[in-house]
């Protein structure tokens, strides 16, 4: 029972991080209609900024998270203005190439500033919670809790507020939204900001149980792509459920089958789900 | 107008070229090639090995270079990034050999080194392979130098010590990369031969996995006394920390790719590592050459501690320089290779922090190995039989 619970906890932890990253990716996809490859770099930069603020400036973990979320949000908005906006009328391929370029650029900049070394963000809560014979490091519980709060918050923002609804409206029909007076410019800036902030928060939550290094974004971005394909491109519930599916598949696969096969399990699941539902689990709200 | 501009540029170019070649006349430059991971997940490791070469070259150049056949030579390190990929390493090596005329090309990974062994004899360069895979020198390549001693030398001591101190049940959760597989394939039979039992085998992707919780808990459910771990130091540290978090009390066998001091920099509590055996970290090595090297390195790098890969590469380039002097040539790779053993033997201890005393006829180095065992939060040295 204990072992089973450990895997559930682990699946939830991984799933929460994946979902947060995938949410940002899926939101931007809804607006831009391209997969934003630079999202993994936003994740990585988020971790570095938290590391800098919490480490060198000695700030509290939560302050570091807020600063990092704000900084990456601004960075995402700048990249929208400087890179994706000027390319809005060119073929989708150009956006993709630009996104990959941005990814490489950010990685190189981070490596130039902080070097290739591995860094650590100390965990804010190091206690290990024990219930009967179940153990759960506090940081993992924190990741799950924070991710759930954020997802609920995002859902409320998108469904219940006017500003949030403009994003959903633009994703559903760009021209229609513009006709009723929604500014596409504001919406895409806002979407990029949210997506960047989500990546930074996910990275800050995950960093204490992992390491910070320039290539860290590769690990999650590939999985995030699988997740949004699985969940349906552009779908918000799809990103959350997809993240959990992949997280649990990895965690249980690594434990009950073999660690060697855990990625295969996730991808076989992808093939299986897509052959049954080619549109993904939750057909996108985009079109 | 345009023509005029081009011709002035051309003239300037010629003048510059003439200037450079006249500078080169005064002191010849030997290009030493390096191809290794300088970006991506293994960038730190690649950079550490490169630093060793650069430090050696800078010191040799500062002391006036080397004199071979009446000419003065200085060293220039030409480094190319191969992102840890054997195919890119091969392309880089071709470039280094043909464009830069490098008599020696260093590669810090076994995959790249195997790729270069395919053509280093035809292209005429010595392959300086930084990998302790014993097979590296068993393939009949006559121009290979295996820089660190073979890891086969560690296995007996690792098996004996951990079995005695922690117990006979072993779970193997090393990496799933080539190097870790080579280690595991030697370690497992040695453990079983010594009367031990392998209760679980669950290799993990140290460089690609986001999390090690499931893999480690699966291995721990078989109740092992000892865990075999190893990949790059930092992910290895995460694996070991996860094991302790999950309540594991036993010992660790740490593959030589990971270093105990670097692991402790992540975990920040040496007592968590009690019962771990691994190679002696350079910073805890009490031998004279190593101590002096660590101090010099710290002084030049803002107090950063060097790893053993830096010291091995540093020693290797010093040995190459010595071998060129002994062979009386900077170009004939066969003659230089033949003098490497003598060169290593003749290095004074401050230029030989890796304590290598000779090179066998196949190109593998011999060194006095010291193994580190963590007890009560301290790394204790254990003498191992030299291999």
Domain for residue A78, yes or no? yes
Tell me what pLDDT residue B23 has: 45
Residue ranges making up the domain that contains B233: 152-255
pLDDT at B35 over 60: yes
Domain termination site, one of B202, B232, B255: B255
Which residues sit opposite B77 in a β-bridge? Answer: B32
Domain for residue A198, yes or no? yes
Give A-chain residues touching B44 at CB under 8 angstroms: 115-118, 213
Smallest Cα distance from A136 to chain B, Å: 9
Give A-chain residues touching B247 at CB under 8 angstroms: 135
Tell me what pLDDT residue B1 has: 44
Tell me if B113 sits within 8 A of B127, measured CB to CB: yes
Nearest CA to B194 out of B220, B164, B172, B222 is that of B164
Give B-chain residues touching A209 at CB under 8 angstroms: 211, 238
B138 and B211 share one domain = no
Give B-chain residues touching A137 at CB under 8 angstroms: 245
The rounded mean pLDDT for chain B is 88
pLDDT at B16 over 60: no
Tens of pLDDT, residue by residue over A43-74, are 999 999 999 999 888 889 999 999 999 999 99
Alpha-carbon distance of B126 to B295, in angstroms, equals 30
B65 and B158 share one domain = no
Smallest Cα distance from B190 to chain A, Å: 24
B29 and B126 share one domain = yes
B146 and B8 share one domain = yes
Domain for residue B350, yes or no? yes
Out of A210, A215, A258, whose CB is closest to B202? Answer: A258
B69 and B205 share one domain = no
pLDDT at B380 over 50: yes
Alpha-carbon distance of A167 to A174, in angstroms, equals 10
CB contact under 8 Å between B214 and A117, yes or no, is no
CB contact under 8 Å between B221 and A262, yes or no, is no
- Collapsing DSSP states into helix, strand and coil, what is residue A55? helix
Tens of pLDDT, residue by residue over A226-263, are 898 888 888 888 899 999 999 998 888 888 877 777 77
Smallest Cα distance from A145 to chain B, Å: 18
| Residue B231 at interface with chain A, using a CB cutoff of 8 Å | no
Q: Is A1 or B36 the better-scoring residue by pLDDT?
A: B36
Which tokens is A257 given? 């089958």
Smallest Cα distance from B261 to chain A, Å: 14
Alpha-carbon distance of B213 to A9, in angstroms, equals 10
B306 and B244 share one domain = no
B157 and B143 share one domain = no
Tell me what pLDDT residue B22 has: 44
Domain for residue A170, yes or no? yes
How many domains, in total, are found in chain A? 1
Residue ranges making up the domain that contains A203: 2-121+159-276
B103 and B158 share one domain = no
Instruction: Write the ipTM.
Output: 0.75
Q: Which of B43, B108, B200, B213 to mutate to test the interface with A (most CBs of A within 10 A)?
A: B213
Give B-chain residues touching A118 at CB under 8 angstroms: 44, 234, 266
Domain for residue A262, yes or no? yes
B126 and B193 share one domain = no
Nearest CA to A63 out of A75, A81, A73, A49 is that of A49
Q: How confident is the model at residue B12 (pLDDT cuts 50, 70, 90)?
A: low
Domain for residue B316, yes or no? yes
Q: How many CA atoms lie within 13 A of A219 on its CB side?
A: 25
Which tokens is B65 given? 């270079």
Kindly write down the DSSP assignment for every residue of B189-258, as one continuous string: HHHHHTT-EEEEE--B-TTT-S--HHHHHHHHTT--SEEEE-SSHHHHHHHHHHHHHTT--SEEEE-TTS
Alpha-carbon distance of B277 to B157, in angstroms, equals 9
Tell me what pLDDT residue A25 has: 92
Percentage of the residues of chain B whose pLDDT score is greater than 70: 91
Tell me if B186 sits within 8 A of B152, measured CB to CB: yes
Alpha-carbon distance of B374 to B379, in angstroms, equals 4
| Residue B238 at interface with chain A, using a CB cutoff of 8 Å | yes
Give A-chain residues touching B243 at CB under 8 angstroms: none
Domain for residue A163, yes or no? yes
| Residue B6 at interface with chain A, using a CB cutoff of 8 Å | no
pTM: 0.80
Tens of pLDDT, residue by residue over B72-122, are 999 999 999 998 889 999 999 999 999 999 999 999 998 899 999 999 999
Domain for residue A37, yes or no? yes
How many domains, in total, are found in chain B? 2
How far out from the chain centre does Cα A38 lie? 11
Give B-chain residues touching A13 at CB under 8 angstroms: 211, 213
Nearest CA to B369 out of B345, B353, B386 is that of B386
Smallest Cα distance from B213 to chain A, Å: 7
Q: What is the CATH number of the domain that holds B183?
A: 3.40.50.2300
The phi and psi torsions of B124 (rounded to 5 degrees) equal: 70, 55
Tens of pLDDT, residue by residue over B336-356, are 999 999 999 999 999 999 889
Out of A7, A214, A218, whose CB is closest to B43? Answer: A214
pLDDT at A121 over 70: yes
| Nearest chain B alpha carbon to A261 | B204
Give A161's DSSP letter: S
Tens of pLDDT, residue by residue over B118-165, are 999 999 999 999 998 888 999 899 999 999 988 888 999 999 999 999
Alpha-carbon distance of B25 to B72, in angstroms, equals 10
Domain for residue B212, yes or no? yes
Domain for residue B246, yes or no? yes
Tell me what pLDDT residue B387 has: 43
Tell me what pLDDT residue B234 has: 87
| Residue B70 at interface with chain A, using a CB cutoff of 8 Å | no
Domain for residue B270, yes or no? no
pLDDT at B333 over 70: yes
Tell me what pLDDT residue B202 has: 87
pLDDT at A218 over 80: yes
Alpha-carbon distance of B296 to B286, in angstroms, equals 15
Alpha-carbon distance of A175 to A287, in angstroms, equals 12
Domain for residue A149, yes or no? no
Domain for residue B343, yes or no? yes
Domain for residue B50, yes or no? yes
Alpha-carbon distance of B348 to B177, in angstroms, equals 36
Tell me what pLDDT residue B112 has: 93
Tell me what pLDDT residue A125 has: 82
Tens of pLDDT, residue by residue over A9-39, are 889 999 999 999 999 999 998 877 877 889 9
Tens of pLDDT, residue by residue over A161-217, are 999 999 888 888 888 888 999 988 899 899 999 999 999 999 999 998 888 988 888
Out of B47, B205, B221, whose CB is closest to A3? Answer: B221
Which run of H or E residues covers position B346? helix B340-346
Tens of pLDDT, residue by residue over B175-213, are 988 888 889 999 999 999 999 999 999 888 887 777 888
CB contact under 8 Å between B210 and A220, yes or no, is yes
Smallest Cα distance from B324 to chain A, Å: 33
pLDDT at A224 over 80: yes
Q: How confident is the model at residue A278 (pLDDT cuts 50, 70, 90)?
A: confident
CB contact under 8 Å between A116 and B47, yes or no, is yes
Tell me what pLDDT residue B24 has: 44
Please enumerate in sequence order all residues whose Cβ is within 8 A of that of A287, keeping only pairs 6 or more positions apart, or say none: A172
pLDDT at B17 over 60: no
Domain for residue B386, yes or no? no
| Nearest chain A alpha carbon to B202 | A259
The phi and psi torsions of B132 (rounded to 5 degrees) equal: -100, 15
B99 and B194 share one domain = no
B25 and B156 share one domain = no
B308 and B184 share one domain = no
Which run of H or E residues covers position A23? helix A2-32
Domain for residue A30, yes or no? yes
């Amino acid at each position: 029972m204990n072992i089973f619970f450990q895997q559930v906890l682990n699946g939830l932890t991984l799933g929460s991080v994946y979902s947060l990253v995938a949410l940002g990716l899926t939101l931007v996809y809804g607006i831009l209609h391209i997969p934003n490859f630079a999202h993994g770099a936003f994740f990585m930069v988020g971790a570095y900024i938290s590391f800098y603020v919490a480490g060198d400036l000695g700030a509290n973990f939560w302050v570091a998270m807020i600063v990092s979320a704000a900084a990456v949000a601004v960075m995402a908005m700048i990249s929208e203005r400087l890179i994706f906006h000027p390319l809005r009328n060119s073929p989708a391929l150009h956006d993709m190439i630009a996104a990959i370029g941005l990814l490489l650029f950010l990685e190189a900049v981070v490596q130039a500033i902080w070097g290739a070394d591995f860094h650590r963000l100390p965990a804010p809560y190091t206690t290990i919670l024990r219930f009967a014979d179940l153990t759960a490091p506090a940081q993992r519980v924190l990741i799950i809790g924070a991710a759930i709060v954020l997802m609920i918050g995002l859902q409320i923002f998108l469904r219940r507020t006017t500003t949030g609804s403009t994003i959903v409206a633009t994703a559903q029909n760009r021209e229609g939204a513009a006709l009723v007076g929604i500014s596409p410019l504001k919406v895409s800036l806002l979407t990029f900001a949210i997506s960047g902030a989500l990546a930074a928060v996910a990275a800050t939550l995950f960093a204490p149980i992992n390491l910070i290094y320039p290539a860290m974004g590769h690990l999650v971005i590939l999985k995030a792509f699988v997740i949004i394909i699985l969940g349906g491109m552009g779908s918000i519930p799809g990103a959350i459920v997809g993240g959990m599916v992949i997280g649990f598949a990895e965690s249980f696969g690594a434990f009950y089958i073999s660690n060697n096969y855990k990625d295969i399990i996730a991808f076989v699941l992808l093939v299986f789900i897509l052959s049954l539902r080619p549109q993904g689990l939750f057909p996108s709200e985009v079109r | 107008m345009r023509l005029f501009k081009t011709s002035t540029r051309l003239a300037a170019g010629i003048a510059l070229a003439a200037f450079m070649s006249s500078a080169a006349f005064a002191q010849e430059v030997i290009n030493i090639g390096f191809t290794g991971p300088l970006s991506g997940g293994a960038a730190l490791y690649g950079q550490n090995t490169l630093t060793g070469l650069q430090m050696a070259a800078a010191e040799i150049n500062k002391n006036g270079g080397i004199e071979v056949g009446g000419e003065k030579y200085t060293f220039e390190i030409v480094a190319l990034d191969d992102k840890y990929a054997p195919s890119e390493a091969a392309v880089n090596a071709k470039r280094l050999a043909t464009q830069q005329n490098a008599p020696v090309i260093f590669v810090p990974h076994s995959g790249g080194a195997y790729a270069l062994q395919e053509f280093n004899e035809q292209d005429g360069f010595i392959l300086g392979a930084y990998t302790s895979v014993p097979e590296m020198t068993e393939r009949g390549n006559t121009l290979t130098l295996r820089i660190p001693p073979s890891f086969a030398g560690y296995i007996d001591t690792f098996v004996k010590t951990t079995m005695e101190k922690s117990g006979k049940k072993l779970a193997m959760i090393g990496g799933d990369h080539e190097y870790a597989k080579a280690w595991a394939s030697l370690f497992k039979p040695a453990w079983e031969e010594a009367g031990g039992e392998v209760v679980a085998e669950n290799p993990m992707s140290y460089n690609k996995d986001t999390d090690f919780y499931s893999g480690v808990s699966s291995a721990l459910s078989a109740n092992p006394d000892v865990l075999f771990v190893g990949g790059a130091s930092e992910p290895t540290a995460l694996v070991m920390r996860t094991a302790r978090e999950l309540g594991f009390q036993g010992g660790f066998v740490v593959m030589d790719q990971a270093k105990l001091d670097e692991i402790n920099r992540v975990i920040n509590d040496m007592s968590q590592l009690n019962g771990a055996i691994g190679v002696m970290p350079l910073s805890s090595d009490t031998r004279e050459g190593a101590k002096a090297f660590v101090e010099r390195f710290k002084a030049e790098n803002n107090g950063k501690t060097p790893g053993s890969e830096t010291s091995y590469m540093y020693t290797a380039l010093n040995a190459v320089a010595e071998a060129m002097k002994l062979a009386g040539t900077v170009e004939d790779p066969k003659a230089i290779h033949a003098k490497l053993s003598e060169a290593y033997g003749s290095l004074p201890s401050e230029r030989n922090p890796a304590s290598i005393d000779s090179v066998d006829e196949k190109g593998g180095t011999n060194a006095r190995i010291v193994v580190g065992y963590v007890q009560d939060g301290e790394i204790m040295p254990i003498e191992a039989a030299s291999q």
